[in-house]
Structure 1
Amino acid sequence: MTSLTHPRLFGLGRNPAAPDDVLVRLAAHDHGRHGIHLRRGRLPDAVVEALLTYGGGDSAFLLRADRLSPGMLRRIEGHPDPAIRDAPADFVRSMVENEAPIGIEGIEEAYGRPRTALAAAPDPKVRAAVARSWWERPLDVQVTLLADPDPRVRAAATLHARPGVPPQLLDRCLADPATRGNVARHIPLTREQFAELTRGGEQELLRAVAENPHLTAEMAARLADVDDPVVRVAVARSRHADAGTRDRLYALVEAEHADGGTEAYVALHWHGLTPGWLRDAPLEERLTHLERSDPAMRRELASCPDLPQDAWRRLDGDPDLGVRQVAARRPDVPPEVLERLVRAHGDHVRPPLVEHPNFPRHKLCSFAEEADPRVRRVALEDPGLPVPALERLAAAEESYLRRGVAGHPGVTLALLERLLSDPAPEVADSAAANPALPLDRMHRILADAGL
């Protein structure tokens, strides 16, 4: 996030060409330290020492071990200031306290005990953190966590499909309010278990069951009558739904979405079962989904590498942009398909389509003449973009275009100087972070800030 008040200091801290002496001086300023903390790679010891001098525990809190030399790691571990010495462990403990994701190795380091011991720690939040992060735990540890007296621990132990629930504990976990939703989402269910889970009509439980990839055709058919957009979409994307059922359920949710239904929007775009099973279906069956009304089915189809040319032509012309973008990632996509897609919509996906080996990069310069500023932005992917084009883009009303010029490797010093004073903070930030920035200009930025 760009600093709104000191964008040049923030950008300079991230500048990969900034020498150690500049970074040491920059460390005396809050916004400069923020930029330095976002740099990639190992930091020189002198810079780390300056960060600790001016930032104290706050800086130590942000310094990951892979950015420090072994000597500096030892320096922090034995630092006389406990705020610095304990900062890495305090960070992990705060993550555990707030029930945020954190790696099991970090938990072991912070608490100074092996994961086997931490699984039985007195604090239930620690036990829950171990259950969330130690996926490959042995069966005896999983059994202990599933019997934990704290519901948060039991819920964490069933959050993921693995290591799973032993058969002898399955009924107990399905009856436990803390675990039954998670378990219902992952394990193969018997007819009796399915009936018990769906009998009460509890919304979250029905949604969990509907997302279970192991449902039988009979179970999917029974869920098809549930009046809930998330359940409807999940059933429509099930391997057991026939074409008529899929189209009917999807049409119902689309109609609810058209009427302004928020849950319908979430179901269509952010929720629901991903039809990953489709990739393993026979080719003949997969091709029947070319005409399905749910774009998620066609997006999954477009991710298959073995489709015939006729199918690719249809997917390249699909009405859904997401389908076209997925299809454009195939190894043998024609260059003209990539160019047409980017010229029509820009390139806002990751990884960018212009990075595809088949993209005609020699045409990037021509994008600078497009009317849509989102498409003109693509021209900045050309490291050899001529200066006249850079000057036109630097004069654009849209700050994201000016920011792109500020970070471009071909920017002139005159343009860079102008963009350093741009009224948009993100533009000045990018200009200060450009490695083409001369050393004397870096020193002037420091001097202007009294550093």
Structure 2
Amino acid sequence: MTPEEISASAGPNERRLAGVALNPAAPVDVLLRLLASESAAVRMVLCRDRALPDPVVDAVVAHPDRWTRGFFAENPYADPEQRARLVDDPEYHVRGRLAREPRADDVCMPRPLPDRTVVRIIETYEDDHLWELNRLISPGLRRAMPTHPSPKVRRATVSWRSLTPRGLAALLADPDPDVQKAAASHSRWYARLRDPDAVREDLPARPCHARRHLLMYGALAPDVVAEALPRDALLIAGNASVPPETVALLAAHPDPKVRTRVADRPDLGPAELRALAVDPDPGVRLALSVHPALSEAERAAIDYAVDQDEWYGHIPVPDPESLPGPEEARPLALSAHPLLRRRAACRPNLPADLVALLADDPDLGVRVLLGQNHPDAPAALLLRCFLEYTGGKRWHLTGHGNFPRAGLARFAGDEDPAVRRLALLDPGMPGDAADRLTRDPDPQVRADAARHPRLPQDRIAALLDDPELGRRAAANPALPVATMYRLVAEAECGRAAGRVAPV
């Protein structure tokens, strides 16, 4: 059964016990009794959807059911050191889940596994596990892999795009023949990509991923360019090997998508820059307006419009050391062009004076991207961003360490359901307001309200039998511990009497 099928098959009592499993105030012995439950739905929620104390982790790692261990292997809330204990699990199913990036939500972002665990996975797991491992590797280990003591770790480096020329050179001279062979194969592949005759030889005639990749990134001979022009102009428009005369033709192509891609080329000549700056298509003009060859005055002379209704989310940085220096973002942050300032706002190493400057930027995208990506984004900015931005990953802002919570109860009557939900982050929300929001027309607001610790006890008790909110009420940290024990005991008695069928 898939996790969705497991959840859908759970009965009311199981859903309520799953709520207890999520309750942050649940005692260890309650959690251990839930782990012993025959309900897959309860074990799934317990092991996958919350952080667990060490005694419960001990029991999970030793649990006889592979699916239960597998749920914990993909738990994004668990400390990576805890998940790492499953690295030598006997079941392929569990190892596979450990070796792939855990599920993420709008607030909880996956963290790398310990370096020694990644090394163990590379050295002992099947090769089909390794392709998903890339994002679980710490930046420090990634940098050290080309010269790592383990030949298998060095060999694994070859297949990843993050391999630098210096790293490739080290691998080509590696003392291990298998590593050297893999590096040589990798080097030959890139050498063929830079060889026009090899690209012509390797280029498939039919549309496919290989043809697309070669036309976009391979060194193209003049005859290949001529053949590609009629049907693949969009693919070759950004290829660095396309000669200037072809670039001029592409800059005048009838398809605005082609001209937009050409506008991104760093090697545009003065004639192409002038022509694209007055292109009849607004998308082309916008793309050209951020060209690095233009001065601020030349950008200002272009008639461009920046869309405000876009996605402004968190942009992970796999290796902070790969970022340009903090001061290199200064020209972008000081530009009159909103898109350049948005690029600066995404830099997590932006200096404090530029953070203060962009926090009050007139462009919504600049402000929200700064709030989503900078570790020192001010509290006032984060709240303002949430109230003004209604696009994707909006809730991610609330997971920022500086996001304010005190005083949010004032938004309990807002017309926007997401803002009413925001009010429930206030630990000081009055109980009657939380009670009222359990009857809110929005289901997510009702669900959050049922878990609010200031919800009156009589309302929590009533909601335990509610078909929709029973699970949420059971997860409320204000639920009396005695009630938790009673719910678990009733389920155990029912199972002993044969009234609860295993899932």
Alpha-carbon deviations, 1:68-93, whole Å to 9, x = none? 696x888x55xxxxxx5x54456689
Report what 2:51 is aligned to: 40
* Partner amino acid, structure 1, of 2:282: A
User: How many Å separate the matches in 2 of 1:239 and 1:198?
Assistant: 22
Q: Deviations over 1:288-338 (max 9, x none)?
A: 424xxxxx555325447579899859x8443xx534412556789787665
User: What CA distance in whole angstroms lies between the structure 1 residues aligned with 2:119 and 2:234?
Assistant: 32
Q: What TM-score do the two structures reach when normalised by structure 1?
A: 0.62
Q: 2:67 aligns with which of 58, 69, 72?
A: 58
Conserved in 2, the CA contact under 8 Å of 1:367 and 1:375?
yes
Answer yes or no: is the 8 Å Cα contact 2:20–2:26 preserved in 1: yes
Mapping for residues 412-423 of structure 1, pairs under 5 Å: 412-423=456-467
**Structure 1 residue 432: Cα displacement:** 2.7
Distance 2:409 2:333 in 1: 43
Out of 416, 438, 441, the residue aligned to residue 480 of structure 2 is 438
Q: For residues 363 and 437 of structure 1, do their structure 2 counterparts lie closer, same or farther at Cα, with a shift above 3 Å needed? A: closer
Distance 1:16 1:269, change over 3 A: closer
For structure 2, which runs of at least 5 residues remain unmatched after alignment?
Answer: 74-79, 102-112, 131-148, 204-208, 286-306, 313-322, 496-503
Deviations 1:92-119 (A, max 9, x none): 8999xxxxxx967524322499985699
The residue that corresponds to 2:302 in the other structure is: none
Report 1:17-28 matches (<5 A): 17-26=25-34, 27=36, 28=38
User: Which of 21, 28, 31 is 2:41 aligned to?
Assistant: 31
The 1-side partners of 2:97 and 2:354 are apart by: 52
Q: Residue type of the partner of 1:47?
A: A
Flag structure 1 segments of 5+ consecutive residues without an equivalent: 78-83, 96-101, 121-126, 149-156, 158-162, 255-264, 271-275, 291-295
- How far has the Cα of 1:386 moved from its partner? 1.8
**Distance of aligned partners of 1:418 and 1:409 in 2 relative to their CA distance in 1, 3 Å threshold:** same
- Quick one: which amino acid aligns to residue 326 of structure 1? L
Amino acid at match of 1:131: S
Q: Equivalent residue for 2:17?
A: 9
Q: Deviations over 1:249-308 (max 9, x none)?
A: 762589xxxxxxxxxx9xx979xxxxx99x958738962424xxxxx5553254475798
Q: CA deviation at 1:200?
A: 1.3
Cα deviation, residue 31, structure 1: 0.6
The residue aligned with 1:160 is none
Query: 1:220-259, aligned counterparts within 5 Å?
Result: 222-226=249-253, 231-239=258-266, 242=273, 245=276, 248=279, 251=282
Distance 1:302 1:405 in 2: 34
Mapping 1:65-144, distance limit 5 Å: 66-67=81-82, 77=90, 84=91, 86-89=92-95, 105-111=120-126, 116=151, 131-132=159-160, 135=163, 138-139=171-172, 144=181
CA contact (8 A) 1:422 1:428 kept: yes
**2-side partners of 1:229 and 1:396: how far apart?**
47
Q: Specify which structure has the higher proportion of helix.
A: 1
Give 1:434's aligned amino acid: N
Q: Tell me what 2:228 maps to.
A: 200
Mapping of residues 405-416 of structure 1, within 5 Å: 405-416=449-460
In 1, distance between residues paired with 2:378 and 2:83?
Answer: 46
- The alignment partner of 1:17 has SS state of coil
Partner Cα separation in structure 2 for residue 437 and residue 310 of structure 1: 43
In the TM superposition, residue 196 of structure 1 has moved relative to its aligned partner by 3.5
Deviation at 1:400, TM superposition (A): 0.7
Count residues in correspondence: 382
Residues 1:133 and 1:331: Cα distance change in structure 2 (over 3 Å):
closer
Per-residue CA shift, 1:219-245, capped at 9, x if unaligned?
A: 765544456666554444555674872
For residue 418 of structure 2, give the secondary structure of its aligned residue in structure 1: helix
Q: Map of 1:141-220 to 2, 5 A cutoff?
A: 144-145=181-182, 167=191, 170-171=194-195, 174-175=199-200, 176-177=202-203, 181-182=212-213, 196=224, 199-201=227-229, 206-207=234-235, 210=238
The amino acid that maps onto 1:32 is V
- In 2, the alpha carbon distance for the partners of 1:386 and 1:164 equals 68
Q: Hey, what does 2:441 align to over in structure 1?
A: 397
Q: Does 1:352 align with 2:397?
A: yes
SS in 1 for 2:60: helix
Deviation at 1:16, TM superposition (A): 3.5
Q: 1:337 to 1:170 in 2, by over 3 A?
A: closer
TM-score by length of 2: 0.56
| Counterpart Cα distance in 2 of 1:145 and 1:204 | 32
Partner Cα separation in structure 1 for residue 387 and residue 375 of structure 2: 20
Question: Which of 332, 343, 368 is the matching residue for 1:300?
Answer: 343
Contact 1:395 1:402 in 2 (8 A): yes
Contact 1:20 1:47 in 2 (8 A): no
Alpha-carbon separation, structure 2, partners of 1:66 and 1:317: 43
- CA-based RMSD: 5.4
Look up the match of 1:273. Answer: none
Q: CA deviation at 1:353?
A: 5.8
Instruction: State the one-letter code of the partner of 2:46.
Output: I
Structure 2 contact 417–442 (Cα < 8 Å) conserved: yes
Q: Given the superposition, is the C-alpha separation of residues 397 and 356 from structure 1 closer, same or farther in structure 2, using an over 3 Å criterion?
A: same
SS at match of 1:397: coil
Provide Cα deviations, 1:30-88, integer angstroms capped at 9, x if missing partner: 11111122132546366327742xx3x32344443843696x888x55xxxxxx5x544
Query: Which residue of 2 is the match for residue 293 of structure 1?
Result: none
State the AA in 2 paired with 1:444: R
- Structure 1 residues 283 and 396: alpha-carbon distance in aligned structure 2, compared to 1, 3 A threshold: same
